């Protein structure tokens, strides 16, 4: 059977344990490439088996989840909402709790208590029981198993006492009802808190959901941004969001690009400039041609990268996942041991033994461990995105911990990448007009900062342009090209080729035509960045293909002591490998020649205006070209990892302390249920704190 790639929207997942149960179900059905993102409510897998999609959907829904067409548009029915279930149960639980303090005869009647508890128990069976049954059947028992066993034990014990008229000491209807109601209350807070942790992606998705003004034969029709096709002409006015990526055909405007770059200052745009979907027109209006639509837009790619990043587990999460996967059977075993030990080894009797066992069941909380890492990662990634830092994987956050070296490329990274042409020295009898035309024609085919600067500097001076048959970039050297007459050209640099003043050479059929002198300017914030890195105990390193004299000049100006100049891509690779052996190494670059080194480093960081290959090779993309983003990235990563460790400590410590305390009889089941319900909220709350936490 041919491989089918399937993507489902699944609602009802509220922690990593939910995702784990779906993952194991799909594994048992023989599916491959499984990705379950509980925060993004997405399940992806490839199917090469004969299993029908309907059977897969049925299996997922039997676990207690809901497969929908569009999670963003899905609105559960009133009676399906967890808030409704909680309010309904609270209505019946309140009188049951009142009987413990009030002297009303009616609420002390066992039959009245049974009638008050029965609706709550029914909701509990439907809400927790179905999920518990199918999770056990699927071999992945979840937290609902503990809640269901605990509440059912209390109900059956009380029901037996009522039928046999054994007296008030056998009635624990309020325990059954309170366990269910308090856990539902915890689910309400948990649901709202998780929504806050995923707000970054949801905000970006909302940006996509705009309308567009499409121009057809002079008339304007309003359509959804999803219905725009490449090549459509769109009218964008003051206050509008740019619907898709494209090029301005007519008009000018100031655009707010802060949602992409974190840069608060508006960016001026004019004819032929590129605009990005989701950015806001603060002033002016223009006509544009759509060039990238749907999943090809920058915004759509960022959303997809963030979804994948949230699903990538840091190594620190693996311990939590392992414990969570065996947690429920272990807790049930502890509860059974508690019951047997209390009943046979002490004079507590059946009632006390049962209450201690139920307390063990309802106070334990595997969800806290399942939520500890992903919620912190989601908030950290979201905060980074709002600062113009796109992190491709949650595991990247841990990968930068204890960074020892940050290796910089020079051109376009520490320098502006905007070069000025100081001089062109013509060799032999070649004409300057011809030289300008050859340079422009060749460098138009490159995305390197030097190439772009050459084209910008010569486009108004090059009167005649060479017609090329082919052109290709050679990593670390320059461009090779062939014209329609079969002449071969090389424009670039190499070791011991250029003098200190002239750093580029142009050859035609291996004969030198001209030499070009270019200067680059250092970014104003570069020196401050290097000082900050040193203060953080990180050693900055300069690694460049440029000439030694220029590298020394830049390094001396901004304070870098370790320099490696005139290095080709394979040499850069070896140097990165040497630094990796000495300590955790980050590489920051922007050119094609940096791509191998970006991949080799522990974490590769690429500038947004870099070549596409560099962006694909890097694990972090700085959408804002301000170098201060590097320190912000390191700070966010550090505090996200700290938050993960705090969450895991709480989750483990809570269970290690709470379960023995409950087993020894120091906690009644209602207090246990209350504590368990809010342990998740504490973990999520600590993660949400990262949104506004002051970073040091």
Distance CA 490, CA 140 (A): 63
CA-nearest of 423, 415, 412 to 446 is 412
Active-site option among 144, 240, 409, 680:
409
Distance CA 606, CA 676 (A): 43
CA-nearest of 261, 489, 305, 518 to 393 is 305
User: How many Cα atoms are found within 13 Å in the side-chain-facing hemisphere of 276?
Assistant: 17
Distance CA 361, CA 376 (A): 27
How far apart, in Å, do the first and last CA atoms of the chain sit?
54
Distance CA 638, CA 646 (A): 12
Distance CA 281, CA 266 (A): 9
Asked if 126 contacts 133 with a C-beta cutoff of 8 angstroms, the reply is no
Asked if 246 contacts 292 with a C-beta cutoff of 8 angstroms, the reply is yes
Look at the alpha carbons of 359, 362, 368, 369 in this order and tell me if their dihedral is positive or negative: positive
What residue ranges in 233-372 does DSSP mark as E strands?
Answer: 233-236, 245-256, 267-269, 274-275, 280-292
Please enumerate in sequence order all residues whose Cβ is within 8 A of that of 345, keeping only pairs 6 or more positions apart, or say none. none
Distance CA 186, CA 694 (A): 28
Distance of CA 620 to the CA centre of its chain: 11
What residue ranges in 13-100 does DSSP mark as E strands?
Answer: 32-37, 42-47, 66-68
Q: Is 409 a catalytic residue?
A: yes
Asked if 271 contacts 284 with a C-beta cutoff of 8 angstroms, the reply is no
Q: Strand 620-622 vs strand 603-607: parallel, antiparallel, or unpaired? A: parallel
Place of tokens 């694909």: 616
Phi, psi of 637 (to 5 degrees): -60, -45
Distance of CA 645 to the CA centre of its chain: 18
Distance CA 308, CA 299 (A): 14
Distance CA 314, CA 16 (A): 13
Look at the alpha carbons of 339, 344, 349, 350 in this order and tell me if their dihedral is positive or negative: positive
Asked if 221 contacts 214 with a C-beta cutoff of 8 angstroms, the reply is yes
**Secondary structure class of 52 (helix, strand, coil):** coil
Contacts within 8 Å (CB) and 24+ apart, 486-494: 489/438, 489/442, 491/438, 491/439, 491/442, 491/443, 493/545, 493/546, 493/547
Other beta carbons within 10 Å of 588 = 26
Distance CA 336, CA 458 (A): 82
Asked if 407 contacts 618 with a C-beta cutoff of 8 angstroms, the reply is no
Tokens of 302: 């960022």
CA-nearest of 516, 520, 540, 490 to 591 is 520
Distance CA 94, CA 210 (A): 46
Phi, psi of 284 (to 5 degrees): 95, -175
Give me the active site residues, please. Answer: 409
């Amino acid at each position: 059977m041919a491989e089918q790639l399937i993507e489902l929207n699944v609602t009802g997942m509220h922690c990593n344990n939910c995702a784990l149960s779906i993952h194991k179900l799909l594994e048992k059905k023989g599916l491959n490439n499984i990705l379950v993102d509980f925060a993004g409510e997405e399940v992806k897998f490839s199917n090469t088996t004969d299993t029908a999609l309907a059977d897969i959907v049925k299996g997922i829904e039997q676990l207690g989840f809901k497969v929908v067409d569009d999670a963003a548009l899905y609105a559960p029915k009133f009676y399906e909402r967890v808030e409704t279930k909680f309010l309904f149960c609270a209505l019946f639980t309140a009188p049951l709790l009142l009987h413990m303090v009030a002297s009303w005869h009616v609420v002390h009647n066992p039959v009245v208590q049974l009638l008050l508890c029965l609706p709550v128990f029914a909701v509990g069976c439907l809400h927790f029981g179905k999920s518990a049954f199918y999770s056990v059947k699927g071999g992945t028992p979840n937290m609902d198993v503990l809640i269901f066993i605990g509440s059912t034990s209390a109900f059956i014990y009380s029901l037996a006492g009522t039928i046999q008229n054994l007296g008030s000491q056998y009635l624990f209807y309020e325990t059954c009802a309170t366990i269910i109601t308090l856990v539902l209350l915890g689910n309400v807070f948990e649901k709202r808190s998780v929504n806050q942790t995923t707000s970054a992606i949801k905000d970006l998705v909302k940006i996509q959901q705009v309308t567009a003004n499409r121009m057809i034969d002079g008339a304007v029709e309003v359509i959804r941004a999803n219905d725009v096709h490449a090549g459509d002409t769109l009218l964008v006015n003051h206050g509008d969001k740019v619907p898709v990526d494209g090029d301005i055909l007519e008009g000018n405007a100031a655009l707010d690009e802060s949602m992409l770059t974190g840069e608060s200052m508006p960016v001026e745009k004019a004819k032929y400039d590129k605009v990005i979907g989701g950015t806001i027109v603060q002033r002016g209006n223009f006509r544009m041609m759509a060039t990238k639509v749907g999943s090809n837009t920058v915004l759509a790619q960022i959303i997809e990268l963030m979804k994948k990043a949230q699903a990538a587990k840091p190594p620190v999460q693996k311990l939590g996942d392992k414990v969570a996967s065996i947690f429920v059977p272990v807790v049930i075993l502890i509860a059974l041991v508690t019951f047997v030990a209390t009943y046979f080894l002490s004079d507590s009797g059946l009632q006390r033994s049962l209450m201690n066992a139920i307390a063990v069941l309802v106070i334990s909380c595997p969800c806290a461990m399942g939520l500890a890492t992903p919620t912190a990662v989601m908030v950290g990634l979201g905060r980074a995105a709002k600062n113009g830092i796109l992190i491709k994987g949650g595991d990247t956050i841990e990968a930068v911990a204890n960074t020892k070296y940050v290796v910089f490329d020079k051109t376009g990274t520490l320098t502006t990448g905007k070069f000025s042409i100081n001089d062109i020295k013509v060799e032999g009898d070649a004409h300057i007009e011809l030289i300008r035309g050859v340079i422009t024609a060749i460098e138009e085919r490159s995305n390197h900062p030097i190439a772009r600067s050459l084209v910008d500097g010569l486009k108004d001076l090059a009167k005649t342009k060479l017609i090329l048959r082919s052109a290709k970039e050679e990593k670390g050297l320059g461009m090779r090209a062939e014209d329609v007459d079969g002449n071969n050209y090389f424009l670039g640099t190499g070791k011991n080729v250029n003098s200190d003043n002239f750093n580029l050479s142009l050859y035609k059929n291996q004969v030198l035509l001209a030499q070009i002198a270019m200067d680059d300017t250092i970014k104003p914030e570069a020196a401050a960045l290097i000082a900050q890195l040193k203060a953080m105990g990180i050693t900055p390193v300069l690694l460049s293909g440029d000439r030694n004299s220029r590298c020394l000049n830049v390094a001396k100006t901004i304070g870098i002591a370790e320099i490696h100049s005139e290095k080709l891509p394979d040499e850069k690779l070896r140097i990165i490998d040497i630094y990796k052996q000495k300590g955790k190494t980050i590489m920051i670059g922007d050119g094609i020649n940096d791509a191998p080194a970006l991949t080799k480093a522990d974490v590769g960081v690429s500038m947004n205006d870099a070549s596409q290959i560099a962006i694909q090779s890097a694990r972090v993309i700085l959408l804002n070209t301000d170098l201060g983003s590097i320190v912000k990235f390191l700070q966010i990563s550090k505090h996200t990892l700290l938050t993960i460790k705090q969450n895991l400590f709480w989750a483990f410590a809570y269970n290690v302390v709470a379960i023995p305390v409950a087993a020894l009889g120091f906690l009644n089941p209602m207090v246990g249920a209350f504590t368990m319900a809010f342990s998740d909220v504490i973990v999520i709350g600590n993660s949400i704190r990262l949104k506004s936490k002051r970073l040091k």
